[in-house]
Amino acid sequence: MRILLVDDDTVILDDLRYSIHWDKLGVDRVDTAQDAATAKQILAREPVDIVISDIEMPQESGLDLLRWYREKDLKGKFLLLTCHESFRYATAALKLHAGEYLMKPFNVEMMELVLQKFIQELQQEKEQESARILGQWMTTNIRETRLAMWSQMLSSNPKSRWEDLIKEARNPALQIDENCNYRLVISKVTNLETDFESYGKSLVSFILTNIQSEVFFGQPENCNIVAFEYPHYTIFVTICPEEEEEKLRERCRLTQDHCAKILSATVTYCIMNPCRVGDFPRTLEKGVRMLDQCVSFYGEIFSEDQVKAHPAEGESVLQMEKLEAFLAEKGKKEFLSYLKKELEIRVKAKALDAKMLKTMIWEANQAIYAHLAEQGIQISLLLNDTLLLQMAAKAEQSAADMIRYENYLLDKVFDYEAELEKSKGLIQKINQYIHEHYAENLTRSEIGAEFYLVPEYLAKMYKKKTGIALKDYINDYRIQQAKQMLLYSNKQVGEVAVDVGFGNLSYFSTVFKKSTGMTPVEYRKQEH
């Protein structure tokens, strides 16, 4: 077994060469190279089983070496190392089929586990090459067939071709058991526009599916996750063999955490009760409806039972129309008076128990959340402060605690609405925020979060009030700053582009020329 280590840092090379227990791994030869060019010469002369390469190297990067490696169709495993937790690097590595992607400083134990995995895979490939190719073809096709089957079972009308579907599903290779209990974990992914603009729709969908597959099933190859596209959001249905709700909640939390590191999207989960495949369409329909209606759970994880505890449609405790009317008229006093009256009636009748109080809080909040959502206000951000959370935790203890909580909640809502109505002042604040942060990776999601506004609503409101698209204003301000730097500094054009918030030089030049009629270089020469 032969290894090639590639890194421009001799300290890292020595660390790799002498800290790993190569003999225990069955490695009999370890070569080194301090740049990609030398590595290519070594790889061109004789076969190498595993390449471990740094990404950040002068002249040619580790990604360039990997790209060349794939173009030459060399057989072996490739491990990339980097000091930076960059989604750009990770995406590039993924596209080039890197075997693994590890952060420096590396953990020796983790490195040896990865290498052990590589070596085992290589041994299997060498021993059973023809079988591996056939198995890969079979696995791929079975996986695709299984996903297609899940998709049909989730969306089909049982009265149409359900019996045919069941017969097809009985193929042992598909591993679908009509008599087994499954849990549908349904996620609603919203606020995708920024991610689509940055990475493209197909890559975002791949990332979301891959993360969920890794977290839920320990493998990147998706066999049990079906996506349904809607105009403004995506629904992912993860089909799990029956498991405890808490375990599924933990996986949902992990998925949310991973997504938050690389995407701007919001992921809301609903964990459905166990069901058979015959109940899939009804269960999915119910879950999607819950995700649409239960806005109080936005960005959170909840179960079917949590929603079932609330009154069924048409059996509300409070008159929602009254609450909606009070909110529309900014009638805080009327809203609270109505709640107090309803509470007093049930106290006198000895009908106010913990379950009833919880229901009334839930209904009152639904009215408030729906009122905010209609105005494009990001509920989760506006209502997420320490005092409010403390009061919410106590609200179910007594009628008085509930009234105190709702009073504070309404104060926050109406105070922010009053501020929002002063749109001129809000626009000025938004512009000021842009002026202070233009050099950063500024997105409408980030600006929306700062001002508690849904990104889509923010963009529409800004365009309506100013006549200028938010993105155009950001770019125009960046170009104005770039002009100053080009005239009064000695920075290279590429440095100027980065300093004003353009990560891509080509895009900076395009926007600059569109704005001025000249390239940055032409502008600098003309003005000088």
The domain spans of the chain are 2-127, 139-308, 320-421, 423-527
> What's the CATH architecture for 2-127?
3-Layer(aba) Sandwich (3.40)
35 SS3 class: coil
Spatial separation of the C-alpha atoms in residues 114 and 139, rounded to whole Å: 23
Q: Which two tokens stand for residue 379?
A: 């509920």
Decide if 2-127 and 139-308 have a common fold: no
Helix axes 520-527, 470-488, angle to 10 degrees: 50
CA proximity to 86, closest of 419, 437, 503, 528: 503
Write down the residue that tokens 């990560």 correspond to: 503
Within 450-528, strands assigned E span: none
- Per residue of the chain (528 residues), give pLDDT as tens: 899 999 998 888 988 888 999 998 989 999 999 999 999 999 999 889 999 999 888 889 888 898 899 888 888 888 888 776 554 555 655 565 666 777 777 788 888 888 898 888 888 887 776 555 544 554 557 777 778 888 888 886 545 566 777 777 677 766 788 788 999 999 999 888 888 888 888 898 899 999 999 999 888 777 789 999 887 789 999 999 888 899 999 999 999 999 999 898 889 999 999 998 888 888 998 898 888 765 456 788 988 887 644 444 445 688 888 999 999 889 999 999 999 999 888 777 766 766 788 888 989 998 988 888 777 776 776 677 788 888 888 887 778 889 999 999 999 888 888 776 765 578 888 999 999 999 998 888 889 888 888 888 888 888 887 888 999 999 999 999 999 999 889 899 999 999 999 988 888 999 999 999 999 888 888 865
| Predicted pLDDT at 161 | 63
Fold of the CATH domain 423-527: Arc Repressor Mutant, subunit A (1.10.10)
| Predicted pLDDT at 304 | 86
Spatial separation of the C-alpha atoms in residues 223 and 148, rounded to whole Å: 10
Tell me which H or E stretch contains 406: helix 399-421
Q: Which two tokens stand for residue 475?
A: 């770019």
| Predicted pLDDT at 470 | 92
Spatial separation of the C-alpha atoms in residues 7 and 362, rounded to whole Å: 58
| Predicted pLDDT at 179 | 83
> What's the CATH architecture for 139-308?
2-Layer Sandwich (3.30)
Spatial separation of the C-alpha atoms in residues 306 and 300, rounded to whole Å: 12
Write down the residue that tokens 């009030």 correspond to: 465
User: Measured in whole angstroms, how far is the alpha carbon of residue 348 from the centre of its chain?
Assistant: 49
